[in-house]
Structure 1
Amino acid sequence: MNKFVTMIAAAASLTVAAVALSAKANAGAVLDNVLATKTLKVAVGADWGPLSHLDDSHELVGYDVDVAKAVAEHLGAQIQFVTPGWDIITGGKWQGRWDLAMGAMVPTKARAEALDFPAIYFWGPNSAIVHKDSKATTPSDLEGKVVGVAGDTSAEAYANHDLKPDWQNASPVQYQFKAGQVKIYGTTKIAFDDLRLGDGVRLDAVIVDTTFARDSIKAGYPLKILEPPLFSAPGAISVLPGDKEFGDKIAAAIKKMKDDGTLSKLSTKWYDADYSKEQ
């Protein structure tokens, strides 16, 4: 009996060792592939305003694009952009289609169950946006109104009074109104397209990153931003868990850009303000 137990224990030890060796073998797999192929695949958006969008020549441009290019240069790699849906990015089932994702994702604990966040590179205020003809002057005027948000965002969580600011040094959220109805959209641009139809036609307001709203207003959208902002949150680069070496390389690249002022310059280039630092 004791011999049998000993054999089981030995087998279990071998299994644990095999798993450990396997984990060690997988460590660095993403980084190894990036360095071997000299290509960094990055997920961005085609209509994310100053973060990333298609210009008149149908080229991807924006803060995210420039930051990602700098990260690729730090790794000695060429860059390849893909534009999956936001819900696909946050779901974490990337299946090797890209190596990292931009989008200034808020690094909540819930998202950390599927993703890692090696570096924060953006701090952005979020505001309530209304049609220019709206009589609303402060966010509290939106009590009971129809509010649009992009799905699976911190804006959606705020609208539903479910935003959990669990990132480092987070301040408690003060809800300034309770929506009567929250309408979910695939992207904020689509929500803005509904809002621009007129005050209360389809929406009374949209909650979004303030910088996106300012860019849309510059582009001709008949909107206005209500003050004060609703909340401010950090935006991080996201990767899949399991490759600490890769995450460390990304963190080092962003730290270098912060230290030498590159990140600040890129933010000012795209936003006329420095959102690379905590607001």
Structure 2
Amino acid sequence: MDVAKAIAEYLGPKVQFVTPAWDVITSGNWQDRWDMAMGEMIPTKARAEKLNFPAAYAYQLVIAAVHKDSKATKPSDLDGKVIGLTASTVAESYANQTFTQDWVGAQSDAQPIKFQFTPGEIKTYQTNNIALDDLRLGDGVRLDAVLTDRSNLRNAIKAGYPVKELSEPLFFVPAAIAIPRGDKEFSDKIAEAIKNKGRCHALQDNDHAVRN
């Protein structure tokens, strides 16, 4: 939200926030209901067929969260477990072991993604927060773990959720701004706003590797 506010300040208009479901955002069928998506979207080649990505502004760290009473100590302890995550995300692809580094600008010689566990069941949700709501009910009550980004998890912990990070991030991916295809002028203005560090001071975030 801070990044979106900084971009709006740079461009001039007042920002307004809406919260549609993630699968609606990634579908690209926005019907002029909003102009820009700021959900740390990964600019995959499939999504690039429906959306434009003016700029990547951070790197999302995807991590496994477990209940504080969980006996799991490493990702492999999640083999055969019930995993919650947001539908239509790279976390879902990772859990299904179909995730590849196919985002726009990915290096062809990058190390392949290592799948560190095989879920017994995958439960999908509209948002990470709803998945974490189920996880905080207790270890194994509805879920054994949630795949989410580290920033979201740490916000939940600060809010009092009885959950914890299982280990180091499973992988990290670029987070990009998404807009409808076809408006080059708008795309260029957003890219300019991101590059202007003096005005877009909100790009400082301790939970992300910020793109400079």
TM-score, normalized by the shorter chain, greater than 0.5? yes
- Normalised TM-score (structure 2): 0.92
For structure 1, the residue ranges without an aligned partner over 5 or more in a row are: 1-64
CA distance in 2, matches of 1:199, 1:209: 20
Distance, in Å, in 1 between the alignment partners of 2:43 and 2:13 is 26
Pick closer, same or farther for the CA change 1:254–1:187 going to 2, 3 Å.
Answer: same
1:93 to 29, 43, 46: 29
Q: Residues 273 and 185 (structure 1 numbering): CA distance in 2 closer, same or farther, change over 3 Å? A: closer
Instruction: Kindly report structure 1 stretches of 4+ aligned residues shifted beyond 4 Å.
Output: none
Say whether residues 1:66 and 2:2 are aligned partners. Answer: yes
Is 1:176 the counterpart of 2:122? The answer is: no
- The structural deviation recorded for 1:261 is 8.2
Distance apart, 1:82 and its partner CA: 2.1
Q: Which has the higher helix share?
A: 1
**2: CA distance between counterparts of 1:215 and 1:154?**
20
Structure 2's unaligned 5+ residue stretches are none
> What percent identity do the matched residue pairs reach?
57
Question: 1:83 aligned to 7, 16, 19, which one?
Answer: 19
Residue 277 of structure 1 corresponds to: 211
State the alpha-carbon separation in 1 of the partners of residues 27 and 125 from structure 2. Answer: 17
| 1:267 alignment partner in structure 2 | 204
Deviation of 1:273 after TM superposition, in Å, equals 4.3
Q: Are the equivalent residues in 1 in contact too, given 2:64–2:166 (CA < 8 A)? A: yes
CA distance in 1 between counterparts of 2:187 and 2:111 reads 26
Residue of structure 1 in register with 2:180 after alignment: 240
> Would the aligned equivalents of 2:56 and 2:211 in 1 still touch at CA under 8 Å?
no
Aligned-residue RMSD, C-alpha: 1.7
2:167 matched to 1:227?
yes
Counterpart AA for 2:211: K
TM-score where L is the length of structure 1: 0.71
Following superposition, the deviation at residue 241 of structure 1 comes to 0.8
Q: Deviation digits for residues 222-253 of structure 1, max 9, x if unmatched? A: 11111121100111000111111111111111
Residue correspondences, number? 208
Query: Does the 8 Å contact 1:165/1:171 carry over to 2?
Result: no
